Structure 1
């Protein structure tokens, strides 16, 4: 696996299929592992938050979520082979769960959103054995209790649907207590899958260019 440096972040130069292969290796090893993605907004957040930057850069698996990351990599002479968005990886891993019997746990969003998403998953992926789910509304002192509850399910994958940087912080702070092999922050993916919000354009040229201008200020 080739790891490149794009501005203030590392990123793994992987295709979607190579990423899924890495995830499956992580699941087999059964060592709790944090996955992250980077985009223009994350790069900007990392430029202002050294702790977040350290969390992201210490993650064993980092994908390029934003098209502006691909543009930046080309301009810097370190072209990435493919954009691997968080939501596309999320959906591909649902397919893997159905095909290979991995048991996912879903954590985050409102109760209404997560209940609707679970209903849709059960309809669209009837063979998936859902380990469990919980909405994302809790007090910080409840985190350990939630982690213990998740651990009891013996899930293979934990999808955490918080916004950044909350999801990166929560996963990092609780990773040692979790016994879930693969832990992935998925942002607003639950809302998208539940049909509550529309997915952002896959290639938003104006957004990508503006984001690119913003994070090149970090040079």
Structure 2
């Protein structure tokens, strides 16, 4: 992975394909040291701009993927070569497949009790060799966090999927990573709801054209207005600001080299 990490819009980003990402995850799991994976999208960039703790967590992550098509477009606009988007939900499914093949112990944490049970049931049926060592819904009091982390530690999980929203999932994982001692922890957001059939994912053509956010917006326009409409304008401002700054830095460099 050396040489493939860049920094843009205040965040690190690893310029990896899906297969390269899976290889890196396998390496992280083999070390048996706790690590936290993060994906970034337009919303995450906006959150990082106002949350220094989240920004620090992402900076410290050994693996950061481009979840949103907006990140891919922004990176290319800013001069970085991004070969493909590695979405959180697609990576989630690919890790489950790899876990079944490699014998990794997997733990599911988040969503409602009904949803997490459906996800575990579906994955066990689809991947008979999958070793699910535990699951839990995502509804709890903060005072329960340490006992939950201890139970996850006792499960000896190799992989933990945490289905909370951002920045809650990043903050919770970071706070309890050392207690859990799970080699690979991944925040998967609403992926459990999609796998369970509670939420529909955008058609393939909308995913490829970068309109997945719009499909999500039309499903829940009131709840998603701030995130997607106002948030997208904020993200575009971040992109053009960085473009101007990069141009300015190039001009200063050229002037100094003369």
TM-score higher than 0.5 here?
A: yes
Higher relative contact order (CA 8 A, sep 6+): 1
- In structure 1, runs of 5+ residues without a counterpart are none
Cα distance in structure 2, aligned partners of 1:154 and 1:51:
28
From 46, 65, 68, the counterpart of 2:67: 65
The yes-or-no answer on 1:35 pairing with 2:40 is: no
Cα distance in structure 2, aligned partners of 1:190 and 1:30:
25
Q: Which residue of 1 aligns with 2:53?
A: 51
- Give the RMSD, CA atoms, in angstroms: 1.6
Q: For the structure 1 residues 88 and 123, does the alpha-carbon distance in structure 2 shift closer, same or farther, using more than 3 Å as the test?
A: same
Q: How many residues align?
A: 219
The yes-or-no answer on 1:216 pairing with 2:218 is: no
From 188, 197, 207, the counterpart of 1:202: 207
- Aligned positions of 1:61-210 closer than 5 A: 61-200=63-202, 201-203=206-208, 205=210, 207=213
**Residues 11-50 of structure 1, C-alpha deviations (whole Å, 9 max, x = no match):** 0010000000010011110000000000011111111211
Richer in helix (by share) = 2
Q: For the structure 1 residues 44 and 204, does the alpha-carbon distance in structure 2 shift closer, same or farther, using more than 3 Å as the test?
A: farther
The structural deviation recorded for 1:117 is: 0.9
The structural deviation recorded for 1:215 is: 1.1
**Residues 76-111 of structure 1, C-alpha deviations (whole Å, 9 max, x = no match):** 011212110000000000100111111110000000
**Residues 33-76 of structure 1, C-alpha deviations (whole Å, 9 max, x = no match):** 00000001111111121111111121110000000101001110
Contact map agreement 1:34 1:60 (CA 8 A) in 2: yes
Please say which structure displays the higher CA radius of gyration.
Answer: 2
Cα distance in structure 1, aligned partners of 2:33 and 2:210:
39
**Does 199-208 or 117-126 show the bigger shift?**
199-208
Cα distance in structure 1, aligned partners of 2:140 and 2:36:
21
Cα distance in structure 2, aligned partners of 1:10 and 1:134:
31
